[in-house]
Amino acid sequence: MTTPFTSAEQERIIDAIRQAELATSGEIRVHVEAHCPSPDPVQRAIDVFHRLGMHETKLRNGVLFYLAHEDHKFAVVGDQGIDRQVPADFWESTKDLMRGYFAKTQYVDGLRLGIDRAGQQLKQYFPYDGATDTNELPDDISFS
């Protein structure tokens, strides 16, 4: 496993996930690998999404941030529950925001902003309900 992030940077990313999930029942994950085995990072992200069981959340409101750091490829995908709610250009505009940071090699900042942006949408459409909500997926970064 190779990672472009130090332990402290990983903690900053995980903290962003936890903060974004505080006000929503939605689930956010980050997956990092050196190389994208597919020519299409979106397709790879969808494959990873399913491998991580993100399609099994109760409200189908998971969001995956996928990064193949050595190939300079990334994708942001949401499950059908959140995808139906957000504006049509939401995923692309989120990627555009992140791309600006990635171009300056500010990967942690780009991820944190993208995660925050997704969290705002999840909060709007899937607000946290303390009586019934549980953290369905781990907040840690997955690697392969």
**CATH code, domain with 27:** 3.10.310.50
Domain count, the chain: 1
Residue 15 domain flag:
yes
Task: Please give the average per-residue pLDDT across 44-66, as a whole number.
Answer: 96
Task: Please give the average per-residue pLDDT across 37-49, as a whole number.
Answer: 97
Q: Hey, what are 19's tokens? A: 């903060």
Residue 1 domain flag:
no
Q: Flag whether pLDDT at 44 surpasses 90.
A: yes
Phi first, then psi: give them for residue 60, nearest 5 degrees: 55, 50
- Estimate the share of the chain in helix, then strand, then coil, as percent rounded to the nearest 5: 45, 15, 35
Residue 110 domain flag:
yes
CA distance 17 to 54: 15
Residue 112 domain flag:
yes
Residue 129 domain flag:
yes
Looking at residue 90, what is its pLDDT? 96
CA distance 102 to 96: 10
In the chain, the percentage of residues whose pLDDT exceeds 70 is: 97
Q: Flag whether pLDDT at 131 surpasses 70.
A: no
Over residues 74-100, the pLDDT tens digits come to: 999 999 999 999 999 999 999 999 999
23 within 8 A of 120, measured Cβ to Cβ: no
Looking at residue 64, what is its pLDDT? 98
63: Cβ contacts below 8 Å, ≥ 6 apart? 26, 27, 28, 29, 76, 77, 78, 79, 82, 118, 122
Residue 2 domain flag:
no
- Tell me the pLDDT band of 134, cut-offs 50, 70 and 90: confident
Looking at residue 1, what is its pLDDT? 60
Structural domain including 136 reads: 7-143
* Residue owning tokens 């190779």: 2
* Mean model confidence pLDDT for the chain: 94
Higher per-residue confidence, 48 vs 3:
48
Residue 19 vs residues 22, 28, 115: alpha-carbon distances, Å: 5, 10, 9
Looking at residue 128, what is its pLDDT? 86
